[in-house]
C-alpha cells in the first residue's frame, strides 16, 4: 500500500495505517505524505519507510512505482488528503492501474464523482470509499436484519450526527477560522457540516436499509455571518409516497463529541444504533421486551459475525471498523469472493455527492424539495 497525505499529526492518516495493520492484509511501503517534501521525508523516516519510496509528488510516485516489478510495486494507494485533492489523485491512480482507497466525500462535484465511477468500471480496479461506520459489526447486523424483513414495513427513519468541536474555532480569532481547511470552500467544497458528517448519516441510512433517498428539503445555517459554509442543518427526506425521514447534523453542539445515531422504525419492530456505544444494537417492539445484539455471538448474521476482531466482551472501536473495510478491499483486490457491504464503493461516493449538492441546492433555493 501507498499513501497520499496522512503525514505527521494527521489523525485520519494514522487511522488508516492502524486499520490496515489490524486486518493483516497490507504493508505501507511508500507515498507522498505531505505537500512539504521535507516533512514527508521526516515522516517516512519515523515510520521506517525506505527513503527511495518517499516521493516528492504524486506524479513522481506513479512513474517510479510503474517501473518496478509487479510483485514489488504498490497495489493500492490510500488518498487521505483534504477534499479538493481526492478527485485528481484518484483519477491519476485509476488511469495508471492502481487500486484506490479514498476518504470521503469522494470528490468536490457530482460530475467528478461520475467520472471516477466511469474510470473504475473502465479499468476494472477496486475502489473503496471509507465510510468507516459501515465497518461496525452491529451496523452490518442492522443491515442484514432489515434485509430479512424483521421490522415489517419501514415507516420512519431518523439519523443524526452531532459534534461540537468547531465552537472553539468560530468563537476564537479570525486567523484560526481561516486556518481550518474544512471551513474553506476551495478545500472543503460546497459544504462543511453536511459534506463532512451529514453525509455519514445519509450513507448509514442507505447502507442499513437498502433504500435510496429520492428527495431532500434542507434548512442549513453557517451560525456566524463570517462563515462561508454550513455548520448546522436539518434535512427532511422522502423515500417514496409514504416513507419519510430526517437527518439532523451539526458541528456546533456544545459538549457533543461524535454523536452519530440511526433509528429505523417498522410496523413490527425497530432498530437503534449509536456510534459512541457501537457494540450495542437495540431492537424495540410493542409486543416484546427490548433486545440487545452484541458482536461475537452466534446469533448474529454472517457478515456481522465475520466482522468482529476480538472475542465477545472485548470492546472494539473505530480502528477495527475501518479495518473491516480494508479487509473487504483486500479480498476484492485479490479477486476473492466477498459479500456486498464489506466496503463502500465508488457508487456510494456518487450517491454521497448527489446528497451533498442536493442539500445545498435545496437550502439556497429557499428550502424547497430537490431530487437527488
Spell out the SS3 assignment of the chain: CEEEECCCCCHHHHHHHHHHHHCCCCCCCEEECCCCHHHHHHHHHHHCCCHHHECCCHHHHHHHHHCCCCCCCCCEEEEECCHHHHHHHHHHHHHCCCEEEECCCCCCCHHHHHHHHHHHHHHCCCEEECCHHHHCHHHHHHHHHHHCCCCCCEEEEEEEEECCCCHHHHCCCHHHHHCCHHHCHHHHCCCCHHHHHHHHHHHHHHHHHCCCCCEEEEEEECCCCCCCCCCEEEEEEECCCCCEEEEEEECCCCCCCCEEEEEEEECCCEEEEECCCCCCEEEECCCCCCEEECCCCCCCCHHHHCCCCCCCCCCCCHHHHHHHHHHHHHHHHHCCCCCCCCCCCHHHHHHHHHHHHHHHHHHHCCCCCEEC
Q: Which of 184-188, 206-210, 276-280, 323-327 has the lowest mean pLDDT?
A: 184-188
- Reported as a single tens digit per residue, the pLDDT across 68-95 is 999 999 999 999 999 999 999 999 999 9
pLDDT band at 357 (very low <50, low <70, confident <90, very high): very high
| Gap between the Cα atoms of 275 and 80, Å rounded | 22
pLDDT at 183: 87
Whether the pLDDT of residue 174 is over 90: the answer is no
CATH class in words for 136-305+345-364: alpha beta
- Domain limits, the chain: 2-129, 136-305+345-364
Whether the pLDDT of residue 175 is over 60: the answer is no
pLDDT band at 180 (very low <50, low <70, confident <90, very high): confident
| Gap between the Cα atoms of 251 and 297, Å rounded | 35
pLDDT at 182: 85
- Reported as a single tens digit per residue, the pLDDT across 105-151 is 999 999 999 999 999 999 999 999 999 999 999 999 999 999 999 99
Mean pLDDT, residues 209-238: 96
Whether the pLDDT of residue 179 is over 80: the answer is no
Q: Which CATH number fits domain 2-129: 3.40.50.720, 3.30.360.10, 3.30.465.10, 3.40.50.970?
A: 3.40.50.720
pLDDT at 172: 77
pTM for the structure as a whole: 0.95
Mean pLDDT, residues 166-177: 75
pLDDT at 178: 58
Asked if the domains 2-129 and 136-305+345-364 are classified in one and the same CATH topology, the answer is: no
| Gap between the Cα atoms of 50 and 75, Å rounded | 17
From the number of C-beta atoms within 10 Å of its C-beta (0-12, 13-18, 19+), residue 92 rates as middle
pLDDT band at 337 (very low <50, low <70, confident <90, very high): very high
Amino acid at each position: 500500500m501507498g499513501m497520499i497525505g496522512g503525514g505527521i499529526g494527521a489523525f485520519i492518516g494514522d487511522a488508516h495505517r492502524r486499520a490496515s495493520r489490524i486486518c493483516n492484509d497490507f504493508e505501507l511501503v511508500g507515498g507522498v505524505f505531505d505537500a512539504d517534501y521535507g516533512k514527508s521525508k521526516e515522516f517516512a523516516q519515523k515510520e521506517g519507510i525506505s527513503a527511495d519510496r518517499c516521493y516528492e509528488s504524486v506524479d513522481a510516485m506513479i512513474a517510479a512505482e510503474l517501473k518496478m516489478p509487479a510483485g514489488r510495486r504498490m497495489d493500492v494507494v490510500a488518498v487521505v488528503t483534504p477534499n479538493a485533492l481526492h478527485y485528481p489523485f484518484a483519477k491519476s491512480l485509476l488511469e495508471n492501474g492502481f487500486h484506490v482507497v479514498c476518504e470521503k466525500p469522494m470528490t468536490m462535484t457530482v460530475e467528478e464523482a461520475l467520472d471516477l465511477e466511469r474510470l473504475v468500471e473502465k479499468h476494472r480496479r477496486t475502489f473503496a470509499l471509507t465510510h468507516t461506520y459501515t465497518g461496525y459489526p452491529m451496523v452490518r447486523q442492522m443491515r442484514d436484519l432489515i434485509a430479512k424483513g424483521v421490522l415489517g414495513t419501514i415507516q420512519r427513519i431518523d439519523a443524526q450526527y452531532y459534534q461540537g468541536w468547531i465552537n472553539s474555532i468560530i468563537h476564537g480569532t479570525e486567523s484560526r477560522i481561516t486556518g481550518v481547511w474544512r471551513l474553506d470552500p476551495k478545500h472543503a467544497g460546497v459544504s462543511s457540516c453536511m459534506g463532512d458528517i451529514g453525509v455519514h448519516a445519509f450513507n448509514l441510512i442507505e447502507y442499513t436499509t437498502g433504500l435510496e433517498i429520492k428527495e431532500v428539503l434542507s434548512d442549513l445555517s453557517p451560525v456566524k455571518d463570517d462563515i462561508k459554509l454550513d455548520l448546522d442543518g436539518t434535512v427532511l427526506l422522502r423515500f417514496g409516497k409514504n416513507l419519510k425521514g430526517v437527518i439532523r447534523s451539526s458541528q456546533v453542539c456544545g459538549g457533543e463529541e461524535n454523536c452519530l445515531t440511526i433509528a429505523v422504525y417498522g410496523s413490527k419492530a425497530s432498530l437503534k444504533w449509536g456510534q459512541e456505544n457501537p457494540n450495542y444494537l437495540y431492537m424495540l417492539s410493542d409486543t416484546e421486551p427490548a433486545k440487545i445484539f452484541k458482536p461475537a455471538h452466534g446469533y448474529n448474521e454472517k457478515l456481522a459475525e465475520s466482522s468482529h476482531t476480538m472475542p465477545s466482551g472485548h470492546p472494539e472501536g473505530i480502528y477495527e471498523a475501518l479495518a473491516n473495510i480494508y479487509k473487504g478491499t483486500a479480498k476484492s483486490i485479490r479477486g476473492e469472493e466477498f459479500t456486498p457491504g464489506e466496503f463502500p464503493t465508488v457508487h456510494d461516493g456518487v450517491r454521497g455527492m448527489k446528497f451533498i449538492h442536493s442539500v445545498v441546492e435545496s437550502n439556497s433555493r429557499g428550502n424547497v424539495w430537490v431530487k437527488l
